[in-house]
Amino acid sequence: SNFDLTVYLCEYNKQVTSLQRRARCRHIYQRRYNNWSEEVRSGIHPSSQQQQDGDQATSDVHKDTGVRYAPYAIPFCHRRGNFQKKDETHVNKATEQKPPERKMERNRQDETLGSWFKIRIPFGIKYDEKWLLNLIQKQCSVPFTPVEFHYEKMQAQFFIENANIAFALKNVNGVIYNEANERISIFVEPCDAPHSVLKELKSEKVEQIKLPVKERYDVSQQSLDIQRVRSDPGWDTGVWVYLSWLCFSGPCGSSSSSQVKSAGEMDKGERLEPEGMCADRNPLCTTFPDKSTNISSILELFPKLLTLKLKDPHLRVQLLKHTKRVILHTLCVLPKTQHDFSSFVVDTWFQTETMLCFSVSGVFKEVEGSSQGCVRAFTRTFIAIPASSSSLCIVNDELFVSDSNPKKTESVFLIPKPTCCASSISTLSMEWQAMVQAFSTWSGMNVQDSQK
């Protein structure tokens, strides 16, 4: 009787507490043999567990399941988006013989399909490959060898095959800057081995199994004696994966349509909405009749909002100042400050012919009062309109002050003349740029002068 070689792509949605990383979805390959569940379990990547009846796996990648490690099992794959697809393939079979226990010898002990990581640099397409990799290496505590560096859409990507190195690279996130002093982000995530590596290993494996397969292939019958193949002492259970590939490309076996895909080839279009989501609800149409219903309804719908402090409208009235006179008075009663211009980061994030929106972040020191010497972090957001051909007029002003990051307080309060460190100026005209520069200078003056 035949056995089924079944390849499962399983959807896995892990519910975690807020303290744990939230995994939106994971996909794992499983192989299920009707009568060989024990052997199969041993052939699966150690991060997964399989249930006898082929139900959806509920593996925890961080747990040690104590399962024997199979180096060539299709690895754990982390993906965004959910989908579920089941492929079935049939191979002429023999009996229920167990595969050999012994692992196949390999040349590269540490390099396995199971420990690959994809490194992504958003907007990395802006940067030259050599320059970027050098920059990263300077900050990375361990040397790394990028595999398959390439640009994809707006990102730069490469692969790393060692968890320790991947971890070290993760720490480089946000501490490297480009020539315009913009921060460069690095994202690290586990993944399948890159295609070039898979291909390479495949051809290695192909060579290794060609001989025993050849020996057991009956040309006259056009059939491959699977049992005899598997009883070869050179086999590892993981090699079954590759055998199934071969069987479908060659004349052996009576295969039906071969739809076995590696995780890297999954069609992104195969997506289902995550469970529990109401895809058809337009949240913007929800209305609330009064304040009490408002808050409890919101909290029901979005439990996480418990952490969001909804502003008391009375407080808002107190803190929101209206009219120039009131605003200036408010600014005057704030403690005297000294701003560190070298710490300024300016974002010009929206503009039209009639309005300019920009934000300035940085640090300042209080130079009088009970908190004299305290260094604070601030972000000031402005909306301004042209007042004349060379000046701006502020129409909206938002100031947010927080305690400074201790690292930032080490910055020296140097330059009296401010420099405008623009993070991004999209299509800002020359006029606007001049005005922003001028405004930057102006903002360095103390509040008294501004009233003139």
Partner 1 sequence: MAMSMDFKTYVDQACRAAEKFVNIYYETMDKRRQALTRLYLDKATLIWNGNFVTGLEALTNFFDMLPSSEFQVNMLDCQPVHEQVKQTQTTVLVVTSGTVKFDGNRQHYFKQNFLLTAQSTPNNIVWKIASDCFHFQD
Restricting to residues 357-376, which ones interact with partner 1 according to CB under 8 A? 357, 359, 361
Question: What is the per-residue binding string for partner 1 in 139-178, x denoting contact by CB under 8 A?
Answer: --------------xxx--------------xx-xx----
Q: Which is nearer to partner 1, 145 or 286 (CB)?
A: 286
Question: By CB under 8 A, is residue 311 in contact with partner 1?
Answer: yes
Question: From the CB of residue 376, how many other CB atoms can be counted at a distance below 10 Å?
Answer: 18
Residue 106 CA, distance from chain mean position: 32
**CB distance 384 to 442 below 8 Å:** no
Question: By CB under 8 A, is residue 185 in contact with partner 1?
Answer: yes
User: Shortest distance, CB of residue 19 to partner 1, whole angstroms?
Assistant: 10
Pairing type for strands 223-224 and 176-177 reads unpaired
Largest CA distance in the chain: 102
Residue that is written with structure tokens 């961080």 in the block: 62
Options 68, 102, 150, 183; binder of partner 1; rule CB under 8 A: 183
Question: By CB under 8 A, is residue 310 in contact with partner 1?
Answer: yes
Question: By CB under 8 A, is residue 331 in contact with partner 1?
Answer: no
Q: What is the footprint of partner 1 within residues 9-38 (CB under 8 A)? A: 18, 21-24
Q: Give the Cα separation of 76 and 49 in Å (integer).
A: 11
Options 83, 127, 151, 187; binder of partner 1; rule CB under 8 A: 187
Q: Which is nearer to partner 1, 309 or 417 (CB)?
A: 309
Q: Which is nearer to partner 1, 349 or 442 (CB)?
A: 349
**CB distance 36 to 91 below 8 Å:** no
Residue that is written with structure tokens 């009088």 in the block: 368
DSSP string, 275-330: TT--TT--GGG---SSHHHHHHHHHHH-GGGGGS-PPPHHHHHHH---SHHHHHHH
Q: Give the Cα separation of 88 and 256 in Å (integer).
A: 9
Options 284, 333, 412, 430; binder of partner 1; rule CB under 8 A: 284
**CB distance 403 to 161 below 8 Å:** no
Q: Which is nearer to partner 1, 22 or 86 (CB)?
A: 22
Question: What is the per-residue binding string for partner 1 in 52-91, x denoting contact by CB under 8 A?
Answer: ----------------------------xx----------
Q: Which is nearer to partner 1, 316 or 417 (CB)?
A: 316
Options 66, 269, 313, 416; binder of partner 1; rule CB under 8 A: 313
**CB distance 439 to 392 below 8 Å:** yes
Q: What is the footprint of partner 1 within residues 208-237 (CB under 8 A)? A: none
171, two tokens: 């720490």
Nearest residue to 86 (alpha-carbon basis) of 137, 12, 30: 30
The dihedral region occupied by 282, where left means phi > 0, alpha psi between -120 and 50, and beta the remainder, is beta
- Residues binding partner 1: what is the number (CB under 8 A)? 75
Question: By CB under 8 A, is residue 320 in contact with partner 1?
Answer: yes
Q: Give the Cα separation of 83 and 234 in Å (integer).
A: 36
**CA angle 132–138–143, rounded 5-degree value:** 95
Question: By CB under 8 A, is residue 317 in contact with partner 1?
Answer: yes
Q: Give the Cα separation of 124 and 132 in Å (integer).
A: 8
Q: Which is nearer to partner 1, 311 or 417 (CB)?
A: 311
Question: By CB under 8 A, is residue 377 in contact with partner 1?
Answer: yes
User: Shortest distance, CB of residue 310 to partner 1, whole angstroms?
Assistant: 6
Question: What separation in angstroms does the CA of 398 have from each of 63, 76, 201, 322, 334?
Answer: 47, 47, 58, 12, 14
Options 211, 334, 355, 387; binder of partner 1; rule CB under 8 A: 355
Question: By CB under 8 A, is residue 316 in contact with partner 1?
Answer: yes
**Torsions phi, psi of 87, nearest 5?**
-115, 140
Q: Which is nearer to partner 1, 219 or 315 (CB)?
A: 315
Options 150, 302, 387, 431; binder of partner 1; rule CB under 8 A: 302
User: Shortest distance, CB of residue 140 to partner 1, whole angstroms?
Assistant: 15
Question: What is the per-residue binding string for partner 1 in 252-271, x denoting contact by CB under 8 A?
Answer: -------------------x
Any residues with CB less than 8 A from the CB of 83 and at least 6 apart, and which? Answer: 9, 11, 27, 266, 270, 271, 272
Question: By CB under 8 A, is residue 412 in contact with partner 1?
Answer: no
Q: Which is nearer to partner 1, 131 or 350 (CB)?
A: 350
